[in-house]
Amino acid sequence: MKFDWTFFFQSLLTPSPAFLTGLILTIVISVVSMALALVLGTLIALMGRSRFPILRWVAGIYVWIVRGTPLLVQLMIIYLGFAAIGLFKFEDLTILGISLLAAVQAAILGLTINESAYVAEIVRAGLESVDRGQTEASMALGMRPGAAMRWIILPQAMRIIIPPLGNNFNGLMKNTSVLSIIGVSEMFLVAQAISSATFKTFEILIVAAIYYLALTTIWAFAQALIERKLNAQVGNDSAAVPVFKRVFAPRVRKQLVLEGAENA
């Protein structure tokens, strides 16, 4: 066994332009998919609470199917399956001067759909955690359902919703590695290409792993800051827990989140 330290440190500290482009694509696809999934997932969650049974049905079936099937299968159906039966074929596009390859479009669509179902469940649970009396008090003050949702229910649900959403974004960033299978040149596909060109398979995979770890760790700090701010807004004691401790002692954090929910 021989580990090429020179190659390893070179790849880690001065990654090739191709690798950096892959890293950026990983980040962009993650952020865009998550942002779209937040919108779509919230819509699905609201549909699930609609007065109209048909909308509740559609929302329920959507979540059931999307959560019950693997991401990879969903991606393949969207990218290859639809094209194979002539339903829909992704074409390379240029929007506002940014070129979007067919596979990238399919990737964003697939990740958005997949993630939206989980977001919908998280948002639903968050909305349900808000006492029914809050809606009634809003109605009694002359608020319409939309206003009650916007000003009263959502802000309170947010504290329940944010922590699991953050965890899901962590998962989504790692899941982008499966995009290599439909040919999206994100970080993992570039790493595989470097591996077959240099045969330094172990070294480059460790480098890729370290970059994923860096992404998720940076996000963990961001998430901790957001949660701390949210808790501070409602005057919750757990706001005092330092960010560093939140990131590296997740069990402590979980307890505090639950306490926060009870204090609502």
Binding residues for another protein (CB under 8 A): 131, 133-134, 136-137, 139-145, 147, 151-152, 155-156, 233-235, 263-264
Nearer to another protein, 60 or 145 (CB): 145
Nearer to another protein, 83 or 143 (CB): 143
Query: Shortest gap between Cβ of 155 and another protein (angstroms)?
Result: 5
Query: Shortest gap between Cβ of 159 and another protein (angstroms)?
Result: 8
Residue written as token pair 């099937």 = 69
- Dump strand ranges (E) for the chain: 93-95, 98-100
Query: Shortest gap between Cβ of 148 and another protein (angstroms)?
Result: 9
- Cβ atoms within 10 Å of 186's Cβ, excluding its own: 25
Query: Shortest gap between Cβ of 112 and another protein (angstroms)?
Result: 29
**Of 260, 225, 229, 262, residue with least CA distance to 244:** 225
DSSP string covering 108-161, please?
Answer: HHHHHHHHHHHHHHHHHHHHHTS-HHHHHHHHHTT--HHHIIIIIIHHHHHHHH
Nearer to another protein, 92 or 131 (CB): 131
Query: Shortest gap between Cβ of 51 and another protein (angstroms)?
Result: 9
Nearer to another protein, 198 or 233 (CB): 233
* Two structure tokens written together for 250: 């997740």
**Of 79, 34, 67, residue with least CA distance to 180:** 79
Q: For residue 93, what are the β-bridge partners?
A: 100
Nearer to another protein, 68 or 146 (CB): 146
Residue 52: CA count within 13 A, CB half-sphere: 6
Nearer to another protein, 161 or 204 (CB): 161
- Euclidean distance between CA atoms 133 and 2, whole angstroms: 66
Query: Shortest gap between Cβ of 44 and another protein (angstroms)?
Result: 21
Contact, 216 vs 238, CB < 8 A? no
